[in-house]
Amino acid sequence: MTYDAFNRFCGALPATTYVVQWRGSHVWKVGGKVFAIGGRVDRSPAFTFKTSDLSYRILIEQPGVRPAPYLASRGMKWIQNFSEPGAEPGLSDADLKDYLRRSHEIVAAGLTKKARRELGLD
């Protein structure tokens, strides 16, 4: 997936905001909370997202997918999809979109009822 495709997809999800931070990372939020990050691994795009406990345990076993640096080391269930030099990324674009959508849902569900209502997420 390209950054353009990543940004178009995340921008089409409900009530999202976009900011470039952390040395040029493409950061997507819902209700002020991060749900997706587009960064780089060895000059290749890498996409980070929040997962359920079960998805986390399944995904960390796949090539091209790993616990997200920094976030996972603090006990959070975040995954990074990346391309190793000369290899395809761990997830297809379709699967990555499904996980990004689910990450958005997980983060939105953690917002207060009032915030969800104000954002039109209820």
The pTM score is 0.91
List Cα–Cα distances, 87 to 2, 49, 70, 98, 101, in angstroms: 15, 21, 24, 21, 25
Confidence category of residue 85, pLDDT binned at 50, 70, 90: low
pLDDT at 6 over 70: yes
Q: Token match 């009822």: residue?
A: 113
